[in-house]
Amino acid sequence: MKILTDIHMHTVASNHAYSTVHDYWSFSIDRGLQLFGLSDHAPDMPDGAHAWHFGNRKVLPRIYKNVAMLRGIEANIQPPGGGIDIPHNMLPYLDYVIASLHEPVFPPSSDRKANTTAVINTISSGKCQVLGHLGNPNYPIFYEEVVRAAKDNNVVIEINNSSFTHSRPGSKPNCVKLMELTEKLNWKVSFSSDSHSAFTVGEFATSIEVAKSIGFPESKIVNATAKRFLSFLAEHGKPVASELNEWSKQFSE
């Protein structure tokens, strides 16, 4: 199983991340990725990037040394009812949005029903394409309801490799359950490193191990190839899909 894109990583635009755009580009090239996507924390997160960071990425190239870069964001699901911290005028600058629950923004709650409602409201806002690290045990959720809503709205479930290694301890059994449910309901996931330094870009080892152990097929990983991820963004009407269409023709599906 080979995953040729990584769509979740943070740059020095946040002080708690340590790599630059250039670092991510050179590590992506070295590791044979076709594409990577920046997804700095949206402004509501303490230490999130300033709004201008997201608006000015047009100064960066789309392609360098045949590796493409997308301009994403990791948005914050809003308490108590859901939705994200992205104003409408910022959306045109974003190739995709990952929506996540983060403790400093959304206080952890054991209210499974309320957490589920917040996530489903976020999905149905139509503003996000990916749900970030849902396996976090600080937010119990009715997974089946969420996966069904995600499928109905063409939003994918992120399997976050750092949830298996050093972030959000206790996530693993939840992530396994989420993958099993996603497979059962015939839906899709994205694989991501959630890198805060370029040393981990393209690292999906534990996610791949889990996928193999439960027989989760590569065909349902929406970012396994650049072409597949761009087709997914085309389904969401994102202009970057046509911008990179010619470039992506060199790769297989």
Which residues form the interface with Zn ion (CB under 5 A)? 100
Max Cα separation, the chain? 48
Question: Tokens 């599906």 map to which residue?
Answer: 253
Shortest Cβ 24–Zn ion spacing (Å): 14
Residue nearer to Zn ion on the CB measure, 133 or 228 = 133
Buried b (16+ CB within 10 A) or exposed e, 27-59: bbeeeebbbbbbbbbbbbbeebbeeebbeebee
Closest CB to Zn ion among residues 135, 202:
135
Rounded least distance, CB 246 to Zn ion, Å: 33
112 contacts 143 by C-beta, under 8 angstroms: no
> Hunting for tokens 């995709």 — which residue is that?
96
Give the chain's count of helices (H) and strands (E): 10, 8
Q: Please identify, using beta-carbon distances, which residue of 78 and 100 lies nearer to Zn ion.
A: 100
Which residue has the closest beta carbon to Zn ion?
A: 100
CA 24 and chain centroid, separation: 16
The owner of tokens 């699901």 is: 77
How near is the Cβ of 182 to Zn ion at its closest, in Å? 19
For residues 17 and 27, give the distance between their C-alpha atoms in angstroms, rounded to a whole number. 15
Total Cβ atoms within 10 A of residue 12: 16
**Residue 216: CB minimum distance to Zn ion, A:** 22
Q: Are strands 63-64 and 67-76 parallel, antiparallel or unpaired?
A: antiparallel
Q: Which is nearer to Zn ion, 34 or 37 (CB)?
A: 37
Give the nearer residue to Zn ion in terms of CB position, either 134 or 211.
134
**CB closer to Zn ion out of 48 and 202:** 48
Q: At closest approach, how far in Å is the CB of 66 from Zn ion?
A: 29
Smallest gap, in angstroms, from Cβ of residue 16 to Zn ion?
6
CB 161 within 8 A of CB 204: yes
